[in-house]
Structure 1
Amino acid sequence: MEPFIVSARKYRPQTFKDVVGQQSITNTLQNAIDQNHLAQALLFCGPRGVGKTTCARILAKQINSDGTEQENEDFAFNIFELDAASNNSVDDIRNLIDQVRIPPQVGKYKVYIIDEVHMLSQSAFNAFLKTLEEPPKHAIFILATTEKHKIIPTILSRCQIFDFKRITVKDAAEYLKYIAENQGINAEDDALHIIAQKADGAMRDALSIFDRVVSFSGAELTRKAVTENLNVLDYDTYFEATDLILEHNIPNLLLLFNKTLSLGFDGHHFISGLASHFRDLMVCQHPDTITLLEVGEAAQQLYRDQSKRTSPSFLLQGLDIANDCDLKYKTSKNQRLLVELTLMKLASINFDGEKKNPESVALHNKTIDFIAPSAFFKQLPKAPAKVSENNTIVSKEVSNQKIQAKATQENGSPKQPEAPTDVKIAAKTEQEQVSLKTKEPEQVANQNTSSPEVKEIAKKLTINRPTKRVSGLSISSLNAKKQHELNKIEVVIDENNLPKDPFTEEELRKHWADFIEIIDKKGQKILASNLHSDIPKLKENFAIHLELPNGTMKKEIEREQFELMEYLRTKLNNHFVHLEITVNETTVTKFAFTPEEKYEKLRKKNPVIDLLRTEFDLYL
């Protein structure tokens, strides 16, 4: 049985044409050899497994070839490899310098390959400087390192530097496909792409992973076998997660995350992979950027299909949410909850990138011109209204209908209720309704509408709104304030039709206590405490009297009294209930904090305590 040779050694390139992913460097070295422009010291730097040592060996072999040697000649007597990781002292460099003086016995050059040269000590670098700058004509030095920044500048200035790049996923996958065909292995393109991605730009790592997966799956190399053996999340998981996000299916999305955790993956891996999936969907949305997608052709088609069902705004917001979770993951004390909360946020985004329940109408680029009347005014009975000089409203009911209709017409709400027959003011067509909203009063009045009533009442009901917001300290603001005063609508309500049922002080206090309990549960603790500071007293003309210890509490209650009055008027069925608040600062309770103050307070309540203190000779 022949011994097994790993693919990284078995398929090590023997010529510059076989080197994968470093075409610019190999062409430069080949031309330098052909034109005899080769420097005496070369520095190969780059990440691991990209071909630095391989190119050094190929270079050493080619510069000694004259066409008469055998095909398998490796010129072992002319090539010296030194591992600077274990031979990094001054003595090792001195022994190397002594060998440099001896010319080669076979070939033209002696090549010294020093691997991991950044591991040399400072004194070894200094001992190497002179020989590196002026070596014998038959000596060429090739230095290889993965950390160029650790090499002293005096060494860098004496070398011709070649920067090796990471091998792309496409190049690595193509080379793996070539090796699989040579070994008679049927490999899926997606499986080879996953191996190339896992190698992270290192061809040696890709070949090592390839050997491991082949040992697991045999002659059939499938994507499923690769994902199971490498313990990586298959992109099918992310396709399914994205579909659930687009469907706003939070329960199944959380179950999918739980299934992923049960397979041994952590939440950080899942959320970072989901962010990468969103990135891949975004690059698929433009034909120029689809080349950035480093997957097989079958997977590319899946990405194209799903990208058509997503919008750029959705993907941008999804990337932002996933990236925020990625940043917070390591510092979070409940990491699973953080990822689950992130998934809930993602599933709450619409296709256009907006939340399902926007917190503000500003998200829709819409504005509300009017605020609908409160529930209190909705409960008032019909009553005639007096017309003011500047603006006119025929009745309370009509005004409410007009304001509600104007506030909801732009949002596509149901049609506004029809006004009473004595004040028919609704336009007959939708075009007339739009003109009533957008045109000036004079234009509406002079418009050729079908009814003269529409002209007259539209002229009266049109409200002049300011076209822009102005500063509170400008002349424009003063003019706007004056215009606002002129545009005030004076409403006179017939008080004879309003409810005026009598009630007792006990009923008042009962509903008062109920209201305090309601707002306390709602979280309005300060208002509840202020209302609880005094017991309400019923005065003449249905006045509710409160006596408070300071003016601040009075202002707080007056500012929030509308909800209280609306509640009491509804419960007591009396519209004429009103609040009267007085301030009596002498009623402020003084609390005892120090021992002396506590003793004085007790002594005032019971003077015998003072006798007790003197009898037993007590002191504070």
Structure 2
Amino acid sequence: MSDSLLGLDEPPQPRDPNAGAYRVLARKYRPQTFAELIGQDAMVQTLGNAIKRDRLAHAFLLTGVRGVGKTSTARLIAKALNCIGPDEQGGPTIDPCGVCEPCRAIAEGRHIDVIEMDAASHTGVDDVREIIDASRYSAVSARYKIYIIDEVHMLSKNAFNALLKTLEEPPGHVKFLFATTEVQKVPVTVLSRCQRFDLRRIPAEKLAAHFAEVTGKEGAEAEPEALAMIARAAEGSARDGLSILDQAIAHAGIEGGAVTADAVRAMLGLSDRNAIRALFGLVIAGDAPGALQALRDQYDLGVDPQAVLKSLLETVHRVTLSKLGNEAIPGQATEETQALAEWAAKLGFPVLHRLWQLLLKGHDEVARAALPIEACEMALLRVIHASTLPDPGELARKIAEGLPVGGPAASTPSAPAEPAAPRDLAELLDRLEAAHDHHIAARARNLVRMISFSEPVIEVSSRGLPADLVRDFEQAVRRTLGKRWSVKVTDAPGEATLAEVMAAAALAERDAVLASPVVAAAIEAFPDAELIGWNNDARRTA
């Protein structure tokens, strides 16, 4: 009897009415091979080695932020495990062929042995029980029966408990692939039964290169700066970036228009970089009227006040990195690099830290404010007022040395200038403490023995000096004084430590007090008396 009489012929498939419909870029360019999966090289190498050595786990957990490729990776793993090759004789491979029936069926989402479930809409124990019952039966046509559970952290507590036994001892033909954006919500009992892969945020430069390739395939053009802006806005997510790029290409029009940086900036509501640089310059110069006018100009162009403060925060961060000697980020304009270098030379770390804290506080206030633009103006005025104040560390030093703290330097509406180079180790450690390197300064007072102090080299004795302190001390010196300073370690005795000098001075002063006529007479009259403390001013005037 023929198969057709038994009704086993495959029924004719209806034509997909959406077969010719436009697919968004995020779906169209979903990776189909591990080579197309960007930014996850460590995971691919580990998985490839496991396949080659036949050391495949029975459960995999993929975690990471949205859009880094968790679900795509799960499907690729399903392909890798079930691929049979073009000749239908192959085994598991890290390079699935993409042409055999299992590969094509999995890519099209129609393979009967690869079951995908969204845990956000199937959270109950009954949904998991169906998986447990079905897992007992062998795969119909594939090598492995694979369950892909997306957003697995959404499963209920009872559902997780029901899954545990099967997850720990699954049948040999079953593999579980879990994906989640909130791994901290997955029970430890489940985590311990899975091989975990943390998918990293994709670096902005790799995203920009990927977007350039996609743009070319779409027959469109885009400025490198525009792609760099989209990559930064994506925050490590390929899907988010492709969605923005899709919108940008549509925004450019259908007449061959290129995706420009200005168009992307306007589309995303980002502040113009030139305008932000001008605003930042006005803020650190203490020009309140000019800064408020510049802010209002941005606001009138439709830029959100919170976005302005965010851009100012990014500027402070880039200035700080530039001060540390870091290279410019990809896509950064030459004029911006020059401006950052100038500000880095002018502004000290205490000033930059203070700017960061004040702008961050203003950003949070604007996010909650009933009047955002007014709150933003008040935040900028607070930053400008703070920029005219002296540095707390420098102020403390002046007070300690009896120097005047007022005068033009305290009232001039400009950024505080870098202080002069320290004259000796004691002054250097005071500067480190002012920069909040208290722990390093305290260790240096107790352990560092000076040999010579001559800008820009500090030569110290290696005797009794821990290696980690040498490293930390030099890094702290460079943070405070600049990258050209260095610490040289020499095998020589060196001077006494500052702690020893202070202890000797205190002992000498105590002996002097005990030898003074009044105290000596008191000790003689009262032999059991003990010197607890003394008043230096009183002793000097006595």
- Tell me the residue number matched to 1:280: 318
- Residues 45, 52 of structure 1: 8 Å contact kept: yes
Query: 5 Å matches for 1:22-171?
Result: 22-67=40-85, 68-69=87-88, 71-72=98-99, 73=101, 74-75=104-105, 76-171=111-206
Q: Aligned-residue CA RMSD in angstroms?
A: 3.3
Show structure 1 runs of 5+ residues with no match.
370-469, 483-620
Q: 1:133 to 1:278 in 2, by over 3 A?
A: same
* One-letter amino acid matched to 2:64: G
Structure 1, residues 566-605: CA drift from partner, whole Å, max 9, x if none? xxxxxxxxxxxxxxxxxxxxxxxxxxxxxxxxxxxxxxxx
Q: 1:344 to 1:309 in 2, by over 3 A?
A: farther
Q: 1:474 to 1:336 in 2, by over 3 A?
A: farther
- Residues 320, 344 of structure 2: 8 Å contact kept: no
2:367, 2:37 → 1: CA distance? 40
2:383, 2:123 → 1: CA distance? 54
1:339, 1:172 → 2: CA distance? 32
* One-letter amino acid matched to 1:229: M
TM-score by length of 2: 0.62
Shift of 1:232: 1.7
3-state DSSP of counterpart to 1:186: coil
2:371, 2:152 → 1: CA distance? 45
Q: Which deviates more from structure 2 when the two are superposed, residues 256-265 or residues 212-221? A: 256-265
2:294, 2:268 → 1: CA distance? 20
Shift of 1:111: 1.2
- Tell me the residue number matched to 1:244: 282
- Residues 284, 303 of structure 1: 8 Å contact kept: no
* One-letter amino acid matched to 2:214: I
1:213, 1:204 → 2: CA distance? 14
1:83, 1:475 → 2: CA distance? 76
Structure 1, residues 522-557: CA drift from partner, whole Å, max 9, x if none? xxxxxxxxxxxxxxxxxxxxxxxxxxxxxxxxxxxx
Find 2:356's aligned residue among 319, 335, 356.
319
Shift of 1:306: 4.4
3-state DSSP of counterpart to 1:206: helix
3-state DSSP of counterpart to 1:140: strand
2:396, 2:159 → 1: CA distance? 69
* One-letter amino acid matched to 2:258: E
Given the alignment of the two structures, is residue 20 of structure 1 paired with residue 12 of structure 2, yes or no?
Answer: no
1:270, 1:32 → 2: CA distance? 48
1:476, 1:129 → 2: CA distance? 74
TM-score by length of 1: 0.55
Query: 5 Å matches for 1:77-476?
Result: 77-218=112-253, 219-287=257-325, 289-290=326-327, 293=329, 295-296=331-332, 298=334, 301-307=337-343, 310-313=346-349, 314-329=351-366, 336=373, 338-344=375-381, 346-347=383-384, 354=390, 362=398, 367=403, 474=534, 476=536
- Residues 90, 123 of structure 1: 8 Å contact kept: yes
* One-letter amino acid matched to 1:120: L
Q: 1:337 to 1:10 in 2, by over 3 A?
A: closer
2:276, 2:400 → 1: CA distance? 30
1:148, 1:214 → 2: CA distance? 35
Show structure 2 runs of 5+ residues with no match.
1-18, 89-96, 106-110, 406-512, 514-532
Q: 1:250 to 1:4 in 2, by over 3 A?
A: same
Count, aligned residues: 376
Shift of 1:52: 0.8
Structure 1, residues 238-263: CA drift from partner, whole Å, max 9, x if none? 11112323554332221111122223
1:24, 1:361 → 2: CA distance? 50
Given the alignment of the two structures, is residue 6 of structure 1 paired with residue 42 of structure 2, yes or no?
Answer: no
Shift of 1:237: 2.0
* One-letter amino acid matched to 1:216: H
Q: 1:42 to 1:299 in 2, by over 3 A?
A: farther
* One-letter amino acid matched to 2:343: S
- Residues 234, 241 of structure 2: 8 Å contact kept: yes
Structure 1, residues 289-308: CA drift from partner, whole Å, max 9, x if none? 236x4644547635545435
- Residues 189, 296 of structure 1: 8 Å contact kept: no
* One-letter amino acid matched to 1:235: R
Q: 1:481 to 1:331 in 2, by over 3 A?
A: farther
* One-letter amino acid matched to 1:310: K
Structure 1, residues 387-442: CA drift from partner, whole Å, max 9, x if none? xxxxxxxxxxxxxxxxxxxxxxxxxxxxxxxxxxxxxxxxxxxxxxxxxxxxxxxx
Q: How many percent of aligned residue pairs carry the same amino acid?
A: 33
1:247, 1:141 → 2: CA distance? 60
Q: 1:368 to 1:120 in 2, by over 3 A?
A: closer
